[in-house]
């Protein structure tokens, strides 16, 4: 953090340093004029030429430096610091060129441009120093790892740990590889592991991908028992999405990047389809590909940031956001399983917080979980009605959820994981967040993790009296169960 602060202070001090250099150069020109004979005060002496070249040179340096300072606001320095520094550097460049013109002319008039530039730059430096002093040394309390609500209600322990998987992005339970053999599958950025019901390692798969970048998410792709398991590697704003076979080898990849993507079974034949919002120059096309990498159908759309698959028996089967009108909030659009547009409307809540498809027994068979600044909302698939508000909660991105019954004969709860971002001096840090809500929408438990958490699942307890909740972390899986009193 101290290095970043020093760099930001250096950006803010650059205009003052250039102004001092300009002032010294101008003094050379003035001294040359004063020392010259009365009839040669405006002759082109070495000192005058040096001052003219120096002022022009410093002025020309200031202009690209101003551009550089402005660009740092996107990657390294807060805009509250870099933008004033950029403006001050631009003024410094103008002052240098303007003063050079006075040196070039035969006019005895002296300029105050450098002095004015110096006052501006001193004010900018003082402002930036004050802003740096007021900046916190680290993230706010809300970003710190720990239990935020419901301490004592759930019991947490380490369920699994492993190596070389990366951040866990999917957890699946059931007959994954062999009929009749129930396993727990865990997939991450760089590989997958399969465990028996007694948590013994059964198989390991390492994906044929570069490390450590890029960190794509990987989903375990279930098929019918007659077809082997697959892995779908994807990311928002990806360079490409790809499909891997059961041994971790890439089978195919999309010929273009995807703004966002989803995985689902469109026609209920146990053979999955892959949805991709194609990032093309005309923006955009939503298309589905089958396992054989053949395009099933495509449809023209506008900018899409979220897409969710509801299921072959749902209407609509696919929902996605579209640029809205009026208040600017995104609209919700729905497609059939064949790619036909069914509706487009403004929902009752804003979609700026993102959404995902969920199933919550006893509450909704198919609905959308929509994020917000202070709460989640359950919305009908067509966006026409808000079913419930889940609160309190704060904004998270990339949310995933699962219904879980932590106690026998109790109503299902909804567990949600998502990511929140803390950005300082251009460096982004992501922490995972877990929320657990009861069937009435009340918050039961909330926790911030020290790392990303992108995977969540519910599996039955060994005695069948309810479920345990699993949450994926970095090369690990945590287990949550109801605390016994």
Is 427 inside a domain boundary? no
- Integer Cα distance of 103 and 109 in angstroms: 10
Residue pointed to by tokens 């002319």: 105
Is 99 inside a domain boundary? yes
Least confident of 117-131, 174-188, 458-472: 117-131
DSSP summary character for residue 237: T
**Cβ atoms 311, 275 nearer than 8 A:** no
- Integer Cα distance of 56 and 359 in angstroms: 68
**Cβ atoms 273, 288 nearer than 8 A:** yes
pLDDT of residue 485: 45
pTM of this prediction exceeds 0.75: yes
pLDDT of residue 453: 93
* C-alpha to C-alpha distances, 384 to 321, 334, 368, 389, nearest whole angstrom: 14, 12, 11, 15
Q: For 63-113, what is each residue's pLDDT tens digit? A: 777 777 777 766 667 777 777 878 878 887 777 777 776 665 655 455 566
* pLDDT of 51 over the 80 cut: no
Q: Identify the three-state secondary structure at position 360.
A: strand
Least confident of 19-23, 158-162, 174-178, 449-453: 19-23
pLDDT band, very low/low/confident/very high, at 245 (cuts 50, 70, 90): very high
Beta strands in 279-412 (DSSP E): 285-289, 295-300, 307-309, 318-322, 331-335, 341-345, 355-360, 364-370, 376-379, 386-390, 397-404
Query: What is the pLDDT averaged over residues 201-214?
Result: 82
Query: What is the pLDDT averaged over residues 429-442?
Result: 92
* Residue 360 CB contacts under 8 Å (≥ 6 apart), including other chains: 367, 378, 403, 412, 414
Please count the structural domains in the chain.
1
pLDDT of residue 388: 93
Is 67 inside a domain boundary? yes
Virtual torsion, Cα 348, 349, 355, 358, nearest 10 deg: -50
Mean confidence (pLDDT) of the chain? 83
Query: What is the pLDDT averaged over residues 287-307?
Result: 90
Residue pointed to by tokens 């803010």: 12
**Of the candidates 34, 39, 65, 68, the residue with the CA atom closest to the CA atom of residue 51:** 34
The count of C-alpha atoms lying within 13 angstroms of the C-alpha of 338, restricted to the half-sphere facing its C-beta, is: 1
Q: Which domain holds residue 98?
A: 2-134
- Integer Cα distance of 92 and 120 in angstroms: 9
pLDDT band, very low/low/confident/very high, at 33 (cuts 50, 70, 90): low
**Of the candidates 237, 395, 238, the residue with the CA atom closest to the CA atom of residue 305:** 237
HEC per residue, 401-445: EEEECCCCCCCCEEEEEEEEEEEECCEEEEEEEEEEECCCCEEEE
pLDDT of residue 448: 93
- CA angle (190 as vertex; 188, 191 as ends), nearest 5: 70
Is 124 inside a domain boundary? yes
* pLDDT of 58 over the 80 cut: no
Is 83 inside a domain boundary? yes
pLDDT of residue 236: 86
Residue 304, token pair as written in the block:
């899409």
Is 457 inside a domain boundary? no
Instruction: Give the rounded percent of residues in the chain with a pLDDT score beyond 70.
Output: 83
* pLDDT of 198 over the 70 cut: yes
Burial class from Cβ neighbours inside 10 Å (0-12, 13-18, 19+) for residue 105 reads exposed
Instruction: Give the rounded percent of residues in the chain with a pLDDT score beyond 90.
Output: 40
Q: For 362-418, what is each residue's pLDDT tens digit? A: 999 899 999 988 899 999 999 999 999 998 888 888 899 999 999 888 899 999 999
Is 201 inside a domain boundary? no
406 sits in the region (left: phi over 0; alpha: psi -120 to 50; else beta) called alpha
Is 46 inside a domain boundary? yes
**Cβ atoms 5, 132 nearer than 8 A:** yes
Q: Identify the three-state secondary structure at position 285.
A: strand
């Amino acid at each position: 953090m101290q290095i970043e602060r020093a760099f930001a202070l250096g950006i803010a001090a650059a205009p003052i340093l250039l102004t001092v250099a300009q002032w010294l150069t101008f003094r050379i020109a003035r001294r040359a004029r004063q020392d010259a004979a009365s009839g040669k005060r405006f002759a082109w002496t070495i000192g005058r030429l040096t001052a003219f070249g120096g002022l022009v040179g410093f002025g020309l340096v200031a202009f690209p430096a101003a551009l550089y300072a402005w660009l740092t606001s996107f990657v390294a320095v807060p805009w509250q610091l870099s933008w004033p520094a950029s403006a001050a550097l631009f003024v410094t460049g103008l002052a240098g060129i303007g003063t050079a013109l006075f040196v070039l002319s035969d006019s005895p008039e002296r300029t105050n441009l450098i002095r004015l530039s110096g006052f501006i730059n001193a004010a900018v430096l003082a402002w930036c120093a004050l802003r740096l002093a007021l900046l916190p040394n680290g993230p706010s309390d809300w970003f710190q790892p720990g239990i935020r609500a419901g301490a004592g209600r759930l019991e947490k322990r380490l369920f699994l740990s492993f190596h070389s998987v990366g951040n866990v992005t999917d957890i699946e339970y059931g007959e994954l590889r062999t009929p009749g053999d129930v396993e727990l599958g865990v997939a991450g950025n760089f590989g997958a592991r399969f465990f028996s019901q007694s948590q013994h390692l059964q198989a390991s798969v390492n994906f044929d991908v570069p490390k450590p970048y890029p960190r794509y998410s990987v989903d375990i792709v279930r098929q019918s028992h007659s077809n082997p398991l697959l892995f779908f590697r994807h990311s928002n704003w990806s360079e490409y999405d790809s499909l891997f076979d059961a041994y971790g080898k890439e089978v195919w990849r999309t010929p273009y990047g995807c703004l966002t993507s989803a995985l689902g079974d469109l026609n209920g034949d146990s053979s999955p389809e892959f949805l991709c919002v194609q990032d093309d120059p005309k923006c955009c096309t939503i298309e589905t590909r089958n396992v054989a990498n053949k395009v099933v159908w495509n449809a023209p759309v506008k900018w899409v940031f979220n897409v969710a698959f509801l299921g072959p028996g749902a209407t609509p089967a696919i929902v996605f956001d579209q640029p809205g009108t009026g208040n600017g909030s995104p609209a919700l659009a729905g497609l059939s399983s064949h790619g036909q547009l069914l509706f487009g409307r403004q929902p009752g809540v804003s979609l700026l917080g993102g959404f995902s498809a969920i199933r919550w027994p006893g509450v909704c068979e198919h609905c959308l979980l929509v994020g917000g600044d202070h709460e989640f909302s359950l919305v009908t698939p067509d966006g026409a009605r808000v079913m419930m508000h889940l609160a309190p909660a704060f904004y998270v991105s990339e949310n995933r959820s699962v219904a879980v019954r932590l106690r026998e004969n109790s109503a299902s709860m909804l567990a949600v994981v998502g990511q929140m971002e803390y950005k300082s001096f251009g460096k982004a840090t992501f922490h995972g967040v877990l929320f657990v809500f009861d069937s009435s929408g009340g918050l039961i438990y909330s926790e911030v993790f020290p790392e990303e958490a992108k995977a969540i699942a519910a599996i039955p307890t060994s005695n069948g009296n309810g479920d345990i909740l699993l949450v994926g972390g970095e090369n690990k899986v945590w287990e949550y169960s109801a605390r016994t009193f």
